[in-house]
């Protein structure tokens, strides 16, 4: 077999392999969606928390790297450890899993609020990921005591 024929064989093998991968749905990458988001009406004038769930139905993990919002130019990702909030660089969104941001745990922190959101208003947030394109979400502002994770299922 000469070199040209070998290259052609390798190329067609690669094409067949590629077609097989796409047909069987392998390596789809992250497939993200959000649900259950809200912002409790802030008790403090300059700070608010954001909570939501990011679901990944893809077979590749992703990471939430930062968030931007219309109510703050200083949005951080926080975790809660021993009752204290700490800034983190990113949160993993596991493959075929979810990232849950909730009270007393991981959350989005809006600092130096341009405007203190009130119940009935909405907060626009854009979530930025390491792999996927940005996701825009609108979070309703709920009562300061709102806590859906306390509900019994």
The span of 13-21, 53-61, 102-110, 135-143 binding Cu ion (CB under 5 A) equals: 102-110
Q: Least distance in Å: CB of 110 to Cu ion?
A: 9
Residue of 31, 64, 69, 33 whose CA lies nearest to 50: 69
Mark 10-49 with x for binding to Cu ion (rule: CB under 5 A) and - for no binding: ----------------------------------------
Q: Angle at Cα 31 formed by Cα 30 and Cα 32, nearest 5°?
A: 105
Distance CA 31, CA 65 (A): 16
Question: In terms of DSSP H, where are the helices of the chain?
Answer: 3-24
Residue of 111, 93, 116 whose CA lies nearest to 35: 93
CB closer to Cu ion out of 109 and 135: 109
103 contributes a contact to Cu ion by CB under 5 A: no
Q: Select from 61, 85, 100, 135 the one that contacts Cu ion (CB under 5 A).
A: 85
Mark 104-123 with x for binding to Cu ion (rule: CB under 5 A) and - for no binding: -----x--------------
* Interface of this chain with Cu ion, residues 62 to 81, rule: CB under 5 A: 78
Reduced to 3 states, what is the DSSP secondary structure of residue 29?
coil
Reduced to 3 states, what is the DSSP secondary structure of residue 64?
strand
Total residues interacting with Cu ion, rule: CB under 5 A? 3
Supply 47's token pair: 């700070």
Q: Least distance in Å: CB of 111 to Cu ion?
A: 8
Residues forming contacts to Cu ion in the complex (CB under 5 A) are: 78, 85, 109
């Amino acid at each position: 077999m000469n070199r040209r024929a070998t290259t052609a064989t390798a190329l067609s093998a690669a094409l067949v392999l590629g077609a097989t991968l796409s047909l069987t749905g392998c390596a789809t990458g992250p497939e993200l969606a959000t649900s259950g988001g809200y912002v409790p009406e802030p008790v403090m004038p300059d700070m608010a928390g954001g909570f939501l769930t990011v679901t990944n139905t893809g077979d590749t993990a992703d990471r939430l790297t930062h968030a931007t919002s219309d109510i703050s130019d200083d949005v951080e990702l926080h975790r809660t450890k021993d009752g204290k909030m700490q800034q983190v660089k990113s949160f993993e969104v596991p493959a075929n899993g979810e990232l849950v941001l909730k009270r007393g745990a991981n959350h989005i922190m809006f600092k130096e609020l341009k405007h203190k959101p009130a119940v009935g208003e909405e907060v626009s947030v854009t979530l930025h990921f390491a792999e996927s394109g940005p996701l825009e979400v609108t979070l309703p502002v709920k009562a300061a005591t709102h806590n859906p994770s306390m509900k019994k299922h």
